[in-house]
Structure 1
Amino acid sequence: MLILLLFAFVAGVVTVLSPCILPLLPVILSSSDGSGKQRPTGVIVGFIASFTFFTLFLSTIVQLSGIPSSALRSLSVVILALFGISLLIPKVQALIEQLFSRFANLMPSGQKRQGFWGGIVIGLSLGLLWTPCVGPILASVISLAITGTVTAQSFLITLSYAVGTAIPLFLIMLAGSTALQRVPWLVRNTSLIQKLFGVLMIMTAAAILFNVDRSFQTFILNTFPQYGAGLTKIEDNQQVQNALQTTTQQKKETDMKPTVLNTLALPKGPAAPDLVPGGEWFNSEPLTLADLKGKVVLVDFWTYSCINCQRTLPYLKTWWEKYHDKGLVIIGVHSPEFEFEKDPKNVAKALADFGITYPVVQDNDFATWKAYRNQYWPAKYLVDAEGFIRYSHFGEGQYDKTEETIQTLLEEAGMSAGSEPIDNPSYSTSARTPETYLGYARIENLVSREQIKQDALQTFTAPARIPDSQFAYVGDWMLTSEYAAPAPNAELLMQFDAKEVYLVARPKTTSGTIQVFLDGQASSLGDDVEDGVVAVDSDRLYKLIKLPSAGKHQLRLVFPEDSVELYAFTFG
């Protein structure tokens, strides 16, 4: 535990050198008001409290309250903008100081602590807005938080990381404040500098509101690929990894032996958790890893509407054909992202559509997912003939390496893999527009003048402009926590930067239609689009756009009738 606290603290300190800190710097510099340590101290206290709290509990807050995380982000942006305005307009500053003086008067130092309370509010906003460059330690804590498992250990680790990050930020603010007090030219021009800081803070708030901060960070990383590379490598050592395995050990809600994962000291790696019984099986009778001792087993976590998962299926099917009669067993663990993916009829249809013949088991309650402490779709775990996890890979790619490991484990088990050549095709799956969810629980990047009314029909007006990688509802829509349902003649507009566009959707009854327009023209470029129209006939992922190369375009979807539910866009 002490090892993780120490490395989390150090990881936080070195974060100041990473590209992820760039969006914070303008606000940090603007918080150097020349009044000494009061405001910088407040900013840091607020930042530590906010970052720690929201890292651990934001997912739970969104699920319980239904308030989308984007609404909390927007509130923080408004607070930053308000402080920027106060630096420009003395009357606004006087009103804010009057507000905080009520809190300050409760403190022994009275008026001297007004700057502290203002800093607290700024720090609280920053803690919610900031997205750090996540290394293995913080990633493990976040994955536990998403599944609702928050412990005293995860709290202390997050707190250590926040404190480590806060120290260099505090020194930056303190240096700025000292300079404003001691450098003659700065002292003479305090009013001008204060106004410049106000403009800087307002510009930063606007940049965050329109996701320019993220675009800028992406630009920096694309222009300087090595900038910040290696800063998280301090966490990549065996001591940290072993400590993480212990910290992220989850309580099992099954009758599995509690010591299943406590074998990390074994030279071959951890013993593979068995498949938790209870889910429906396809293409096979129920299997257990105990039954498969002597075989090499590939456990693949996936869900059928996930485009990243779909792109791994051809490789899995090829390996099944090449090696299943030589000792390889592939088991697809179907862990659903959306409610409709829990329906066994939908899963069976997807297996038929994709031509999957290897065994698949439903994991609707994420029991096996949790047993493996998995965090990703897709994820592959290779289990050797003795039942130990020897290799894992998350996401797409590394297909040659995975197949090489399959052959090695088959040879170890005395089952010749033959002279099968390894020749897996490779391709780029990068897209600048991120996955976009359309229900209010996880909605982001929505451009709208109207506040979202949860689970109620409302009218959206078209914005004058839609920034890159953002979208807008137009007309009458009903937003639920998981999906968006358009009324007749409603529209959806999106600016995307990608080669391919996919939409997870389902019909309300038996079928529905969507009209597709690309850059103002009817489009039939997607595999599921015919004469500019998508026929939504089942619960699945629909291929809307497939271009020769990636680029920036506008997508317009028109819904002639009240007949479909929309869940998420993905891009490639």
Structure 2
Amino acid sequence: MVLFLLSYIGGVLTILSPCILPVLPFVFAKADQPFRKTGLPILIGMALTFSLVSGLAVLGGSWASNANNWGRWVALILLTFFGLSLVFPQFFERFFEPFTRLGSRLTEGSSAKTQTFAKSLLIGAATGLLWAPCAGPILGLILTGAAAQGTPEKAVWFLFAYAFGAATSLAIALFAGGKFLATMKKSLKVERIIKMTLGIAVLLGVVAISFNWDRNVLTRISKVQTEEWENKLIDMFTPGSSSQNAMTSGQNNAHLEDPLAALTPSLSGATKWFNSSALSFDDLKGKVVLVDFWTYSCINCLRTLPYVKAWAEKYKDQGLVVIGVHTPEFAFEKDPTNVAKALQDLGITYPVAMDNDYAIWNTFENRYWPAHYFFDRNGKIRHHHFGEGGYDESEKVIQELLEENGKTVKDHMVQVQGQGVQASARFQDVQSPETYLGHARAQNFKLRPILKADREEKYQLLKNLELNEWTLGGSWLIDPEKATLMKAPGKLAFRFHARDLHLVLGPKDVGSSIRFRVTIDGKVPGARHGMDINENGEGVVNGNRLYQLIRQSDTEPIQDRTFEIEFLDPYVEAFAFTFG
């Protein structure tokens, strides 16, 4: 219910977003006519079509994406004729007279009111095919959660609530605008000017969407910061931070009085256990327990691991039990072989539950990676923390819970220095967000030709990227989760601002190796190379994991830089950029 409400409010806020601009001409083109006959059916058609098509894209895979592409072009043609009819009404009346007569015969017996409603509903349906809202935190929560948990059918209902919210705010604006235009229409001359203006606006909207300006430009122009409002709303309704991969310190509960204490979570439903037989909270009564939700390609999770491992080692003899719950974000993280290798590489020896079906995740009502839940000896949640940071506070909680259990503990904190990808981020310098390359969550892409979902396309690597834009060069196939290079060579570039740059990569074929070269601002990285490449920028993709490709010095000033990676062999899969 909470996510339904958040989805609706997120939709309401879209009227303040620049991504609504291309469809406004279609919605307001009949604002001078009665709202119930024209405006209302336009909004109904828009909301229904958007939620249906977006839902099918989540559920249906490539056939739905291709059908949506064809539907967009049909809608553009329809709305082009609609816009031209407003600008040149007399010409179109003569040109379409035969079709009008045929339509009159087909609809003989139906009222003019019914025909007007149907026409407006059709315009709304076409508009719904073209609407591409900016991906704010709430819409991201809908799509990311559904994709990650493997329950995309839930997203359809949330998308409808989102579309209904957008229709609500547009209805208010449309109703107010209609009153104004109705007053202006009292002059025939003014009425003609209004219709021509609306027609030109419709045609401009068609042009903008045809050239993909709604996706490539409007998401980057200055706008009211609805994202900040959405994040506050999410924090209001759900404890913790507002993003699934929580980078900085999440919201903490009042000290040892957790609002989640009423939860009765379970450890049952794991598809596999590592380093232990299956555990339950009944088995752990009398112990202090830390449950850590993580996934092995999540950079935020990796940066917390040195602390979790240190706590597990320091307090194991005093009765602390650490349990990792590995809940996958990407498909390759569901492979037990990959997880077993990650545990070995990361030196994790405490019990880890493989939560491929999100069974444990859902009993905790969790939404974040990483997430730490602290249980007392009676199995009650006493503290939680979402995201990175707050390590001293978390360790103090462990100490107090152990002391409640009659244990004597040293009050000094662990001293941890993470290495490589586990090194602490320089948050003050991170101005680039986690960026997904699969079309389900892609944003800030700059592609030529435009993004073609679920089919191989040869892209031209574009120059002069703005901050946080990315582009592709070569033959790539972009599916909902990732971009796959189909023919070598191929390139991927990103304009970023952070000390560290990571890229989640993997070979399409298990066991294969893919060579690559990295440059930064057109030069070999030299001393700025990450742990997975050498000074010349050379590296190999030999497994599904997060690769650290750029690591700048802590002493040098951080500035906007262009990262470029060239793959020399085909069939590499690129999932997401992360920064630190």
TM range, normalised to the smaller chain?
A: 0.7 to 0.9
- 1:571 corresponds to 2:573: no
Matched letter for residue 24 of structure 1: I
Alignment of 1:58-73 (within 5 A): 58-62=57-61, 65=62, 67=64, 72=68
Q: Which residue of 1 aligns with 2:316?
A: 324
**Cα offset for 1:172?**
0.9
Equivalent position to 1:279, from 272, 275, 298: 272
SS at match of 2:264: coil
Equivalent position to 1:393, from 354, 360, 385: 385
Q: Which residue of 1 aligns with 2:252?
A: none
Measure, in 1, the Cα distance between the counterparts of 2:441 and 2:232: 31
Matched letter for residue 182 of structure 1: T
Deviation sequence 1:528-551 (CA, Å, 0-9, x none): 111220133333211112345554
**Cα offset for 1:297?**
1.4
**Closer, same or farther in 2 for the Cα pair 1:413/1:368, shift >3 Å?**
same
Q: Which residue of 2 aligns with 1:46?
A: 45
Equivalent position to 1:515, from 498, 514, 517: 517
Alignment of 1:9-24 (within 5 A): 12=8, 16=12, 21-24=17-20
Equivalent position to 1:36, from 30, 34, 37: 34
Counterpart contact for 1:77–1:209, Cα < 8 Å: no
Q: Which residue of 1 aligns with 2:542?
A: 537
Measure, in 1, the Cα distance between the counterparts of 2:47 and 2:375: 41
Equivalent position to 1:299, from 291, 304, 307: 291
Measure, in 2, the Cα distance between the counterparts of 1:326 and 1:12: 48
Alignment of 1:74-473 (within 5 A): 76=72, 79=75, 83=79, 86-87=82-83, 90=87, 94=92, 106=107, 108-109=111-112, 112-113=116-117, 115-125=119-129, 129=133, 131=135, 134=138, 143=145, 147-148=150-151, 162-183=163-184, 186-187=190-191, 189-195=193-199, 197-198=201-202, 201-202=205-206, 205=209, 209-216=214-221, 220-221=224-225, 235=237, 268-282=261-275, 284-421=276-413, 427-428=426-427, 430-438=430-438, 445=445, 447-449=447-449, 452=452, 454=454, 459-463=458-462, 469-473=468-472
Deviation sequence 1:102-145 (CA, Å, 0-9, x none): 8896453265346513432255236663656639xx95898468
**Closer, same or farther in 2 for the Cα pair 1:225/1:8, shift >3 Å?**
closer
Counterpart contact for 1:88–1:194, Cα < 8 Å: no
**Cα offset for 1:170?**
0.9
**Closer, same or farther in 2 for the Cα pair 1:360/1:79, shift >3 Å?**
same
Measure, in 1, the Cα distance between the counterparts of 2:234 and 2:504: 34
Measure, in 1, the Cα distance between the counterparts of 2:234 and 2:336: 41
Measure, in 1, the Cα distance between the counterparts of 2:334 and 2:304: 21
SS at match of 1:529: coil
Counterpart contact for 2:22–2:214, Cα < 8 Å: no
Name the TM-score, length of structure 2 as normaliser. 0.74
**Closer, same or farther in 2 for the Cα pair 1:434/1:342, shift >3 Å?**
closer
**Closer, same or farther in 2 for the Cα pair 1:36/1:461, shift >3 Å?**
same
Alignment of 1:476-515 (within 5 A): 476-477=475-476, 483-486=482-485, 489-499=488-498, 500-507=500-507, 508=509, 509-515=511-517
**Cα offset for 1:56?**
5.7
**Closer, same or farther in 2 for the Cα pair 1:463/1:171, shift >3 Å?**
same
SS at match of 1:27: helix
SS at match of 2:323: strand
SS at match of 2:221: helix
**Closer, same or farther in 2 for the Cα pair 1:315/1:155, shift >3 Å?**
same
SS at match of 1:321: helix
Measure, in 1, the Cα distance between the counterparts of 2:322 and 2:96: 65
When the two chains are superposed, the root-mean-square deviation of aligned CA atoms in Å is: 4.6
Mean CA deviation greater in 289-298 or 138-147: 138-147
Q: Which residue of 1 aligns with 2:248?
A: none
Counterpart contact for 2:138–2:230, Cα < 8 Å: no
Name the TM-score, length of structure 1 as normaliser. 0.75
Counterpart contact for 1:207–1:213, Cα < 8 Å: no
- 1:558 corresponds to 2:578: no
Counterpart contact for 1:330–1:358, Cα < 8 Å: yes
Matched letter for residue 498 of structure 1: H
**Closer, same or farther in 2 for the Cα pair 1:57/1:235, shift >3 Å?**
farther
**Cα offset for 1:487?**
5.7
**Cα offset for 1:395?**
3.4
Matched letter for residue 272 of structure 1: P
Measure, in 1, the Cα distance between the counterparts of 2:288 and 2:573: 41
**Cα offset for 1:311?**
1.6
Matched letter for residue 273 of structure 1: S
Gaps in structure 2 of 5+ consecutive residues: 240-257, 417-423
Matched letter for residue 295 of structure 1: K
**Cα offset for 1:328?**
1.9
Mean CA deviation greater in 351-360 or 51-60: 51-60
Q: Which residue of 1 aligns with 2:531?
A: 527
Mean CA deviation greater in 376-385 or 555-564: 555-564
Matched letter for residue 108 of structure 1: S
Measure, in 2, the Cα distance between the counterparts of 1:398 and 1:29: 49
Equivalent position to 1:27, from 9, 14, 23: 23
Counterpart contact for 2:260–2:381, Cα < 8 Å: no
Counterpart contact for 2:27–2:39, Cα < 8 Å: yes
**Closer, same or farther in 2 for the Cα pair 1:165/1:485, shift >3 Å?**
closer
Deviation sequence 1:450-502 (CA, Å, 0-9, x none): 7758576x644445775654444433446677555546641213232232321
Matched letter for residue 525 of structure 2: S
Q: Which residue of 2 aligns with 1:243?
A: none
**Closer, same or farther in 2 for the Cα pair 1:559/1:372, shift >3 Å?**
same
Q: Which residue of 2 aligns with 1:241?
A: none
**Closer, same or farther in 2 for the Cα pair 1:344/1:451, shift >3 Å?**
closer
**Closer, same or farther in 2 for the Cα pair 1:132/1:555, shift >3 Å?**
closer
Aligned residues: 528
Matched letter for residue 314 of structure 1: P
Measure, in 1, the Cα distance between the counterparts of 2:468 and 2:99: 38
**Closer, same or farther in 2 for the Cα pair 1:521/1:167, shift >3 Å?**
same
**Closer, same or farther in 2 for the Cα pair 1:91/1:380, shift >3 Å?**
farther
Matched letter for residue 125 of structure 1: L
Matched letter for residue 505 of structure 1: L
Q: Percent identity?
A: 29
Matched letter for residue 435 of structure 2: E
